[in-house]
């Protein structure tokens, strides 16, 4: 499809979407007017109002665990709205590509999307700071707290609406556990072992690992295994035991390196077309927004169950060997982040503002968390109760 054809299709989709909303509102209002004092065949007229439909696409293949996590959000919206709002949930590629859902929401082709900010960092590198930025010693739950309590939500609004001029509203939800370094077809114990390896990641993690001598490609999840099979890449990361197992990571590599700072604090992203959101009745708008919080809690719990079971399956059923990423590589990642942070702050005033906000937040909040933990780490307690289990 040519760019002009795509533009025409997008324009028609936007016009159709706008007409759909106007028709729904107009027809419901008209139905309310007819209902008063009207009877049909002797029976009182009943206004069987059709539900409003929210067209939502994800960045995930239909069989991926995150598609189910998005469905958990959709289910809560429908139940909490009493059926007045129905979510038409679609997988990656159904309307737009996995990396294009932000554009789809901006253009009105989609009403909503379920994705991650690094997928649109090509628009502005600061997008990655809302998902794959420098590691300051806090985990993803602490990062989510920065978004809602430390001013991150206003910085996100400023980036999307003021800097980029996009017609969207965004929220973050479901903090990911720190992501493994990834699946490799060679042994990697030192920084030298990484040099020249062709690796898949997304966002600023690509800039980070290029600094460490890797050649990086940014690919959607559904394209990773085929790229590995064709020899286009030598190694990759995606996210977690369930997502990785769902798309067959264990079929192209048997060595998974756990622990990394390249994506230490990432969360899911919920994107909404701003007009769609503002057109909703106040109670439905509140449901759409607060369902993000409800789904986040549910998905945190679900991920602990599903991820842990799939990790056992990868090892015991699929023959995967787990490795701990070496301290040399981890230290080199932190050094590379420090260099990259300075470059980004110098490159763009908005980047500098977001980085300063995150640094100040984590200096205070991670200090509390780490001081409170001290030597009483969860690893110490686990090793006491299950000696020899950890690699």
pLDDT of residue 17: 53
Q: What is the pLDDT of residue 326?
A: 97
Quote the pTM value.
0.85
How much is the pLDDT for 391? 83
Pure H helices in the chain: 3-35, 65-80, 101-107, 140-149, 152-157, 191-194, 204-211, 224-229, 241-246, 274-279, 282-316, 327-347, 349-373, 378-385
| Nearest alpha carbon to residue 365 among 125, 145, 116, 182 | 145
Q: What are the pLDDT digits (tens) for 13-48?
A: 444 455 445 444 433 333 333 333 333 344 444 445
- Check residue 222 and give its pLDDT: 82
Give the model's pLDDT for residue 37: 37
Intervals of the chain under pLDDT 50: 1-16, 19-20, 22-47
Q: Which of 54, 2, 50 is nearest to 26 (CA)?
A: 50
What are the tokens at 64? 């991926």
Structure tokens at 385: 């109760």
CB neighbours (10 Å) of residue 13? 18
How many other C-beta atoms can be found within 10 angstroms of the C-beta atom of residue 25? 12
How confident is the model at residue 220, as a pLDDT?
84
As given in the structure block, the two tokens for residue 231 are 């020899």
240-263 residue pLDDT tens: 999 999 989 999 999 999 999 999
Which residues, including other chains, have CB under 8 Å from residue 81's CB and lie 6 or more apart? 51, 284, 287
Please name which of 224, 176, 184 lies closest in space to residue 202, comparing C-alpha atoms: 224
Q: Which domains can be identified in the chain, with CATH numbers?
A: 3-34+49-175+266-305 (3.40.190.170), 182-264+321-385 (3.40.190.10)
DSSP characters over 250-267: GGT-SEEEE--STTSS-E
């Amino acid at each position: 499809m040519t760019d002009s054809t795509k533009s025409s299709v997008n324009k028609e989709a936007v016009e159709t979407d706008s007409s759909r909303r106007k028709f729904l509102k107009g027809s419901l209002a008209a139905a309310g007017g007819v209902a008063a004092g009207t009877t049909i065949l002797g029976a009182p007229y009943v206004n069987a109002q059709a539900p409003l439909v929210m067209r939502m696409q994800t960045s995930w293949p239909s069989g991926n665990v995150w598609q189910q996590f998005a469905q958990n959000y959709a289910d809560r919206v429908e139940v909490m709205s009493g059926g007045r709002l129905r979510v038409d949930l679609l997988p990656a590629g159904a309307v737009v590509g996995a990396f294009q859902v932000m554009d789809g929401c901006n253009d009105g082709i989609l009403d909503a999307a379920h994705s991650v900010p690094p997928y649109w960092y090509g628009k502005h590198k600061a997008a990655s700071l809302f998902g794959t930025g420098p590691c300051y010693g806090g985990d993803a739950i602490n990062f989510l707290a920065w978004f809602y309590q430390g001013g991150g939500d206003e910085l996100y609004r400023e980036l999307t609406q003021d800097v980029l001029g996009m017609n969207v509203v965004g929220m973050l939800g479901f903090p990911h556990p720190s992501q493994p370094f990834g699946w490799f077809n060679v042994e990697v114990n030192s920084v030298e072992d990484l040099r020249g390896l062709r690796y898949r990641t997304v966002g600023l993690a690509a800039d980070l690992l290029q600094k460490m001598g890797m050649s990086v490609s940014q690919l959607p999840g559904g394209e990773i295994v085929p790229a590995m099979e064709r020899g286009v890449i030598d190694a990759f990361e995606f996210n977690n035991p369930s997502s990785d197992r769902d798309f067959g990571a264990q079929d192209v590599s048997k060595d998974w390196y756990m622990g990394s700072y390249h994506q230490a604090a990432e969360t899911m992203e919920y994107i909404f077309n701003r007009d769609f959101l503002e057109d909703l009745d106040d109670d439905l708008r509140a449901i759409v927004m607060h369902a993000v919080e409800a789904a986040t809690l549910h998905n945190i719990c679900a991920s602990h169950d599903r991820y842990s079971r799939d990790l056992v399956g990868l090892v015991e059923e699929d023959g995967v060997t787990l490795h701990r990423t070496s301290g040399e590589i981890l230290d080199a990642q932190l050094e590379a982040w420090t260099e990259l942070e300075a470059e980004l702050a110098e490159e763009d005033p908005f980047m500098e503002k977001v980085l300063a906000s995150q640094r100040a937040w984590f200096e205070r909040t991670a200090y509390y968390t780490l001081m409170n933990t001290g030597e009483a780490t969860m690893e110490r307690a686990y090793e006491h109760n299950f000696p020899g289990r950890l690699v």
